[in-house]
Chains A and B, each alone.
Chain A
């Protein structure tokens, strides 16, 4: 707040009558009310979309799928219930407050399986009203066998003669089209600056000029469908204009009335026409973002470099005295509420793998097209917003580079200290190198300006803002499972099915090389299966749920007349996310060390211990757990982990080009898949017992096995993966806020970030924890081995401290906060 308060007084005096029509007297209390409501009220599954879905699919039977999708989108936007809730930024996901829609087009299996189970969404408990329940049951019957994932599995069975469900059931991969996923960072700036009316004219012209030949059929369908969606988005904003006008008539308080009338004026104008100021821009942005999410509530539709495309509007209003920085901050808080309202639920396994994460990442920092520091004052306000709101959505991602201003980085540190783990850090130089390398193989290559305009979407991945969308690929294979299959000669010990390939009886292996070769053989098999399955999933996605409005929001789709799922964007990419690499690497290291190097165990003893989940063999589990592990900056382990990830990359590429025809880097990160897959797996040679969560991230240390401190962990983490060859890495570190206290604490963190990036790391997230977390760490030390706290003049791993000392630190943390 310090940077803001210096400017506050002088500016509010000059601009008090300006500030647009918003009733600033009540604004902050409205923010609080809205947030409190979201945090306390259970989410409700609103039935209206199910109703629309069934009606539209019935009415437009026989139409092309993109057209039906457009009509469904139109039906939702023009007929959903709308309401005012005190937020001057309008537009909610559903017709009720804290509402969630179901998206059965992807998957309905969960409806049947979970109707009676406790429900969970991103904000906790969820209510499914009786009306929704009835509609869900009806929808289940209508969609069973026709959903995206059903289609995917059907195609696989037809083409390869095997039922692929056994692979997913064994925990080899997660069926990626069983939920809506994909997208990236749309071109928000286009609508802000040109308006939808401009796009309508553009698409109309292209539609008219498009020769009516059979080969242009899909183009035709896409254009006419896009036009439906543009009108729908405009109609949606006009509905809010009408509602605000009507409400204003009954409003007696002059300030509230003025606000409503202004809202009506703004909604009448944007997003149809260009925004003229920050107030209009924020509303236009939200209508577009919301429309994208309503079309497909997919994880990873991210606003991208908001602080860049919104900056000219911000700058103008500040310069002209139309808004103060304080008022901008309040508006941003209202926007933060809107992001937090968005939620999704697509079944319990979805909740397990994604923890309700909606992936709305705002990217800050980075460089401009000439490579200079691009960070803006507006971005510092985004950090301040997060400091004050402490939200789980949107998330902030900093594109770190060495040219960043010290004052800006200090604001970043202040935000991280707040405890929400935000912003997460991405190494901008690694991102640019990776982007150049990735798109160099594309027909038209890539410009350096575009490579410098990357942003983060979803969790830790990156893409070109406004010009590149992504779809998930490879079904998120679980690499730890490969070790399990190798140790069982291809048979899954959990489902007892031969889902792997015969890679040899492990008890007969005479050297570690044979073990490693068998592992690679199994890995090749997994990638082969998951590639076949996911290539077909892209066909299923195109066939069942192509996006129309979202496609129009990316550069390239309109020009080519191709939707984004079919590679319409300028830089289409697939993201093959792989999980639990470190569990596999550590397991292989343990086998090498215990069975072959030191010969402390025979392979048979190891296999027997794993089979019994170390029952009665705690001594073997300890040996396994204490065997050499990733994360300790030891040369031998480090070079093995690097080799392991290099080999994985090669084996992945050996599967051939992706569905767009390009060589795709693997994305190494976990989301919450480490929980999901962990629950499906038996014991591992790294000392992990059956059913326990796997290691999070992709270069984090297995909990409890890094003992050389944070610098060692950072060096190991940064260098484990070639972050240019890979699409992402993923690394988490936990601190108690006291470690980062004061100017020296800030310097410490900045030095850690810089050094991590110097070593080539791509992603790191520093989490500052609360006293509640410390208490949890005391009870569950195995989950918090990387948690660092300040003791007295020194810092230490929390879980290794004497209980009395731990209690002392818990007390102190409570006191601090």
Chain B
């Protein structure tokens, strides 16, 4: 039976597709977007996250660490990111949940046991199951097996994707999914690479395939000030989606809610600035002038 790396299963998700849903978050992403609000989702291996606010300075972690990676910060304990192997022993012993492991190997059955628990909620709300990430399709066979299993139960399948996925796997995904929440981050290949680490040729191919299929697609755009909100980019989007007669777009304005997770992973948060309501209004008008209908999610 296939298995893979899951970093969270969120029951009662109400913003990841229709109705009440369970969202299965797979760990691992081929993209590294500058604004990523779930930085722990990028690597495919388990990672120890250290939330310093919660540390009570009891020192249990220092006692159990086999690598000498726990360092004293006066009243609290930090980590030496070079020495830490993400083995998770400190997280196991931490009594205040300041140290937590993100990511664990689960089998399809283990995931399904949790997914099935809320079936009545799906029935009563026209909800279902959403796969998110990371990039869920990066889970490969594991992802496809889960999607198939969910489909076999008769639950609605939503895939929240960046679209960066080998073409054959993506075409299989199209068959399994009832709905895509499909990110459109930038239309220009060079800019796309600058912002996310990869160019968008494959993504546009998959977007094309999804939009040409029977599977429902909601186009979503993380909106970043000065990065992808230019008139030029929006014009390019309008040109691309015109072919499919699509003008509805869900926009997700930049927010800094993931900031503390960067700190927890020992990483620097590179984004700065959010939209003021006025600025957002200007950008939204830009969309409208190109015939888009925007919804903020």
Give residues 2-36 of B contacting A (CB, 8 Å).
10-16, 18-20
Query: Given that A751-B19, A794-B13 are contacting pairs, would A802 and B53 also be in contact in the complex, using a CB cutoff of 8 Å?
Result: yes
Q: How far is the CA of A795 from the CA of B21 in the complex (A)?
A: 12
Which of B95, B117, B297 sits near A622, CB closer than 8 Å?
A: B95
Residues 619-637 of chain A, each 1 if its beta carbon lies under 8 Å from chain B, else 0: 1001000000000010000
Residues 731-752 of chain A, each 1 if its beta carbon lies under 8 Å from chain B, else 0: 0000000010000110110011
Query: Given that A748-B20, A751-B127 are contacting pairs, would A711 and B12 also be in contact in the complex, using a CB cutoff of 8 Å?
Result: yes
Whether B11 lies near A712 (C-beta < 8 A) is yes
Query: Given that A748-B14, A755-B124, A793-B15 are contacting pairs, would A803 and B53 also be in contact in the complex, using a CB cutoff of 8 Å?
Result: yes
Q: How far is the CA of A81 from the CA of B77 in the complex (A)?
A: 70
Interface residues on B, range: 20 to 34
Whether B260 lies near A744 (C-beta < 8 A) is no
Q: Is A412 an interface residue (CB 8 A)?
A: no
Whether A748 lies near B13 (C-beta < 8 A) is no
Give residues 201-217 of A contacting B (CB, 8 Å).
none
Which of A715, A792, A803 sits near B255, CB closer than 8 Å?
A: A792
Q: Is B244 an interface residue (CB 8 A)?
A: no
Q: How far is the CA of A748 from the CA of B118 in the complex (A)?
A: 14
Chain A positions within 8 Å of B16 at CB level? 793-794
**Minimum C-beta distance from B206 to chain A (A):** 22
Q: How far is the CA of A340 from the CA of B129 in the complex (A)?
A: 46
Q: Is A245 an interface residue (CB 8 A)?
A: no
Query: Given that A711-B121, A804-B260 are contacting pairs, would A794 and B15 also be in contact in the complex, using a CB cutoff of 8 Å?
Result: yes
Q: How far is the CA of A651 from the CA of B19 in the complex (A)?
A: 42
Whether B11 lies near A709 (C-beta < 8 A) is yes
Q: Is B259 an interface residue (CB 8 A)?
A: yes
Task: Return the chain A residue nearest B264 by Cβ.
Answer: A802
Q: Is B125 an interface residue (CB 8 A)?
A: yes
Whether B297 lies near A793 (C-beta < 8 A) is yes
Q: How far is the CA of A709 from the CA of B37 in the complex (A)?
A: 21
Chain B positions within 8 Å of A748 at CB level? 14, 19-20, 125
Residues 767-805 of chain A, each 1 if its beta carbon lies under 8 Å from chain B, else 0: 000000000000000000000001111110000001111
Whether B14 lies near A805 (C-beta < 8 A) is no
Q: Is A808 an interface residue (CB 8 A)?
A: yes
**Minimum C-beta distance from A25 to chain B (A):** 40
Chain B positions within 8 Å of A618 at CB level? 95
Residues 688-731 of chain A, each 1 if its beta carbon lies under 8 Å from chain B, else 0: 00000000000000000000111110010000000000000000
Chain B positions within 8 Å of A622 at CB level? 95-96
Q: Is B71 an interface residue (CB 8 A)?
A: no
Chain A positions within 8 Å of B260 at CB level? 802, 804-805
Chain B positions within 8 Å of A793 at CB level? 15-16, 252, 297
Q: How far is the CA of A804 from the CA of B255 in the complex (A)?
A: 12
Q: Is B120 an interface residue (CB 8 A)?
A: yes
Whether B257 lies near A708 (C-beta < 8 A) is no
Q: How far is the CA of A752 from the CA of B127 in the complex (A)?
A: 12
Whether B124 lies near A754 (C-beta < 8 A) is yes
Q: How far is the CA of A808 from the CA of B256 in the complex (A)?
A: 10
Query: Given that A751-B127, A755-B124 are contacting pairs, would A795 and B15 also be in contact in the complex, using a CB cutoff of 8 Å?
Result: yes
Whether B118 lies near A795 (C-beta < 8 A) is no
Chain A positions within 8 Å of B257 at CB level? 791-792, 802, 805, 808
Chain A positions within 8 Å of B124 at CB level? 751, 754-755, 758
User: Among A622, A715, A792, A805, which residue has the most Cβ atoms of chain B within 10 A?
Assistant: A792
Whether A711 lies near B125 (C-beta < 8 A) is no
Task: Return the chain A residue nearest B23 by Cβ.
Answer: A794
Q: How far is the CA of A751 from the CA of B13 in the complex (A)?
A: 13
Give residues 123-169 of B contacting A (CB, 8 Å).
124-125, 127
Chain A positions within 8 Å of B15 at CB level? 790, 793-795
Chain A positions within 8 Å of B252 at CB level? 792-793
Q: How far is the CA of A754 from the CA of B123 in the complex (A)?
A: 10
- The 24 sampled A-B contact pairs (Cβ below 8 Å) are A622-B95, A709-B10, A709-B11, A709-B12, A711-B12, A711-B121, A712-B11, A715-B117, A739-B14, A744-B18, A747-B19, A748-B19, A751-B127, A752-B20, A755-B125, A791-B257, A792-B252, A793-B297, A794-B16, A795-B14, A802-B53, A802-B257, A802-B259, A804-B260
Instruction: Name A residues whose Cβ lies closer than 8 Å to a Cβ of B.
Output: 618-619, 622, 633, 708-712, 715, 739, 744-745, 747-748, 751-752, 754-755, 758-759, 790-795, 802-805, 808
Instruction: Name B residues whose Cβ lies closer than 8 Å to a Cβ of A.
Output: 10-16, 18-20, 37, 53, 95-96, 117-118, 120-121, 124-125, 127, 252, 255-257, 259-260, 297
